[in-house]
A and B are shown apart, each in its own frame.
Chain A
Amino acid sequence: MPDVIAMGGLSTSLLIGVQALEVSQGALNATSNNIANANTAGYTREVPAISENAESVSGGVVTGGGVTLTGLQSVRDELLNLQIQQQTSSQSQADTTSTALSQVQTYFSTSGTDIETAFANFSSSLAALSSNPSSSSQQAGVISNGKNLAQAFNNTANGLTNVQSAMDEQVTQTVSQINTLSKQIAQLNSQLSQLTAAGQSGGTVEDQRDQLVQNLSQLTGISVTQSSNGEVITTGNGTPLVMGSQSFTLQTTTGSDGMQQVLDSSGNNVTSSIQGGTLGASITVRDQTIPSYLSQLNTLATQFASAFNAAQAKGYDSNGNTGQAFFSVPSSGTGAAAGLAVAITDPSQIAISSDGSAGSNGNVANLSAALTAALPSGKSPAQSFSDLVYQVGNDASNANTQSSAIAANLLQLTNQQSSVSGVSIDEETTNLIRYQTAYEAAARIVSTIQALSTVTLDMGASQSY
Chain B
Amino acid sequence: MTSSSIQDRNGKLEEYLQLLRSMSFELERAMSAISQNSIQALEESLSNQEAFSTRLVELADDLGQSQRETATHRQPLADDGLMDHINAASESLQKLNRRYSALLKFSSRSVALMVSLFSSYQGQFQEGSGPRLKLETWSCQM
Which A residues form the contact surface with B (CB < 8 A)? 1, 3-8, 10, 13-14, 16-29, 31-33, 35-36, 38, 48, 50, 64, 66-67, 425, 428-429, 431-432, 434-436, 438-439, 441-443, 445-446, 448-450, 452-453, 455-460, 462-463, 465
B6 in contact (CB, < 8 A): no
- Determine if B67 and A4 form an interchain contact, defined as CB atoms under 8 angstroms apart: no
- Determine if A449 and B94 form an interchain contact, defined as CB atoms under 8 angstroms apart: yes
From A4, A33, A432, A460, name the one whose CB has the most chain B CB atoms within 10 angstroms: A4
Q: How far is A434 from B46 in the complex, measured between Cα atoms in Å?
A: 12
A462 interface neighbour in B77, B117, B127, Cβ under 8 Å: B77
B110 in contact (CB, < 8 A): yes
Known: A14-B142, A459-B63. A1 touches B85 (CB 8 A): yes
Known: A31-B117, A442-B104. A3 touches B92 (CB 8 A): yes
Minimum CB distance partner of B88 in chain A = A3
Which B residues form the contact surface with A (CB < 8 A)? 13, 20-21, 23-25, 28, 30-32, 34-37, 39, 42-43, 46, 49-50, 53, 56-57, 60, 63-64, 67, 70-71, 74-78, 80, 83, 85-97, 99-104, 106-108, 110-111, 113-115, 117-118, 121-125, 127, 129, 131, 134-135, 137-139, 142
Closest approach, in angstroms, between the C-beta of A248 and any C-beta of chain B? 37
Minimum CB distance partner of B74 in chain A = A465
Q: How far is A435 from B118 in the complex, measured between Cα atoms in Å?
A: 14
- Determine if A18 and B86 form an interchain contact, defined as CB atoms under 8 angstroms apart: no
Tell me the dominant secondary structure on chain A's binding face. helix
Known: A1-B85, A23-B35. A453 touches B94 (CB 8 A): yes
Known: A22-B131, A23-B36, A445-B46. A13 touches B96 (CB 8 A): yes
- Determine if A449 and B93 form an interchain contact, defined as CB atoms under 8 angstroms apart: yes
Write out the residue numbers on chain A whose beta carbons fall within 8 Å of the beta carbon of B75. 465
- Determine if B110 and A27 form an interchain contact, defined as CB atoms under 8 angstroms apart: yes
- Determine if A67 and B87 form an interchain contact, defined as CB atoms under 8 angstroms apart: no
- Determine if B138 and A446 form an interchain contact, defined as CB atoms under 8 angstroms apart: no
Q: How far is A432 from B117 in the complex, measured between Cα atoms in Å?
A: 11
B89 interface neighbour in A4, A21, A32, Cβ under 8 Å: A4
- Determine if B86 and A448 form an interchain contact, defined as CB atoms under 8 angstroms apart: no
14 A-B pairs in the complex with CB atoms less than 8 angstroms apart: A1-B85, A4-B25, A8-B28, A13-B96, A16-B28, A24-B34, A27-B37, A31-B114, A67-B35, A431-B39, A452-B56, A459-B67, A459-B83, A463-B77
Q: How far is A38 from B91 in the complex, measured between Cα atoms in Å?
A: 48
From A1, A25, A48, name the one whose CB has the most chain B CB atoms within 10 angstroms: A25
Closest approach, in angstroms, between the C-beta of A383 and any C-beta of chain B? 66
> Tally of A-B residue pairs with Cβ under 8 A?
212
Tell me the dominant secondary structure on chain B's binding face. helix
A4 interface neighbour in B53, B60, B92, Cβ under 8 Å: B92
- Determine if B94 and A24 form an interchain contact, defined as CB atoms under 8 angstroms apart: no
- Determine if A17 and B102 form an interchain contact, defined as CB atoms under 8 angstroms apart: yes
Minimum CB distance partner of A23 in chain B = B37
**Given pairs A455-B64, A459-B13, 14 additional interface contacts (CB within 8 A):** A3-B91, A4-B88, A5-B25, A18-B131, A18-B138, A24-B107, A27-B37, A31-B114, A66-B32, A438-B42, A439-B108, A455-B63, A459-B78, A465-B74
Q: How far is A13 from B123 in the complex, measured between Cα atoms in Å?
A: 34
Write out the residue numbers on chain B whose beta carbons fall within 8 Å of the beta carbon of A16. 28, 31-32, 35
Q: How far is A441 from B23 in the complex, measured between Cα atoms in Å?
A: 15
- Determine if B115 and A3 form an interchain contact, defined as CB atoms under 8 angstroms apart: no
Write out the residue numbers on chain A whose beta carbons fall within 8 Å of the beta carbon of B80. 463
Minimum CB distance partner of A425 in chain B = B118
Minimum CB distance partner of B64 in chain A = A455
- Determine if B118 and A35 form an interchain contact, defined as CB atoms under 8 angstroms apart: yes
- Determine if B142 and A20 form an interchain contact, defined as CB atoms under 8 angstroms apart: no
Write out the residue numbers on chain B whose beta carbons fall within 8 Å of the beta carbon of A458. 64, 67
Closest approach, in angstroms, between the C-beta of B104 and any C-beta of chain A? 5
Minimum CB distance partner of A29 in chain B = B125
Q: How far is A16 from B108 in the complex, measured between Cα atoms in Å?
A: 16
Closest approach, in angstroms, between the C-beta of A31 and any C-beta of chain B? 5
Q: How far is A3 from B70 in the complex, measured between Cα atoms in Å?
A: 26
Closest approach, in angstroms, between the C-beta of A393 and any C-beta of chain B? 50
Q: How far is A33 from B108 in the complex, measured between Cα atoms in Å?
A: 20
Closest approach, in angstroms, between the C-beta of B15 and any C-beta of chain A? 13
- Determine if A462 and B118 form an interchain contact, defined as CB atoms under 8 angstroms apart: no
A439 interface neighbour in B35, B111, B135, B137, Cβ under 8 Å: B111
- Determine if B97 and A446 form an interchain contact, defined as CB atoms under 8 angstroms apart: yes
Write out the residue numbers on chain A whose beta carbons fall within 8 Å of the beta carbon of B134. 18, 21-22, 25
Write out the residue numbers on chain A whose beta carbons fall within 8 Å of the beta carbon of B20. 456
Minimum CB distance partner of A35 in chain B = B117
Minimum CB distance partner of B60 in chain A = A455
- Determine if B30 and A442 form an interchain contact, defined as CB atoms under 8 angstroms apart: yes
Write out the residue numbers on chain B whose beta carbons fall within 8 Å of the beta carbon of A428. 114, 118
Q: How far is A357 from B43 in the complex, measured between Cα atoms in Å?
A: 111
- Determine if B46 and A438 form an interchain contact, defined as CB atoms under 8 angstroms apart: yes
Known: A17-B103, A20-B103. A463 touches B34 (CB 8 A): no
- Determine if A445 and B50 form an interchain contact, defined as CB atoms under 8 angstroms apart: yes
A436 interface neighbour in B34, B85, B115, Cβ under 8 Å: B115
- Determine if A439 and B100 form an interchain contact, defined as CB atoms under 8 angstroms apart: no
- Determine if B106 and A459 form an interchain contact, defined as CB atoms under 8 angstroms apart: no
- Determine if A448 and B67 form an interchain contact, defined as CB atoms under 8 angstroms apart: no
Q: How far is A428 from B115 in the complex, measured between Cα atoms in Å?
A: 10
Q: How far is A7 from B26 in the complex, measured between Cα atoms in Å?
A: 10
